[in-house]
Amino acid sequence: MNPPTVESLFGANAGIIWRTLNQNGPSNLSSLVKSTSLSREEIFGALGWLGREDKIVVEQKGHAMVFSLRDEEVRLVVPEETAVEPALKPKSNRRKSKQPKKTKKNRKVRVQVKQPDRMEEFLLH
């Protein structure tokens, strides 16, 4: 089996993003992640692909970036036989990072030992 090419991975993800924006309208990054189940990196790659093809518009709304299709692209009907199925994502071997366990630190307690006064020491000798 041939390994997937860069063009096929980014192109398939771009198709997923395009269909999502066409069906749901303008979306920010977090809503694209939820609706497509692609990772942020994959979405950015697909948005770059669509941007390079001049198919999307990016607007800054507050702190969020909102992505939408250009007016010429909106509501185009994609026949089902030409729809691109998303490439199967290989499962990553990454583990979720665990927070280190909090351990009780031994506190050093200073015990003050009463030192004899220098004058008393001098007189005793």
pLDDT tens readout for residues 42-80: 999 999 999 999 999 999 999 889 999 988 766 566 555
Query: What pTM was estimated for this model as a whole?
Result: 0.57
Q: What local confidence, expressed as pLDDT, does residue 70 receive?
A: 87
pLDDT tens readout for residues 3-50: 888 888 889 999 999 999 999 999 999 999 999 989 999 999 999 999
CATH number, position 31: 1.10.10.10
Task: Show the domain range for 68.
Answer: 6-79
Q: How many domains does the chain have?
A: 1
CB 48 within 8 A of CB 7: no
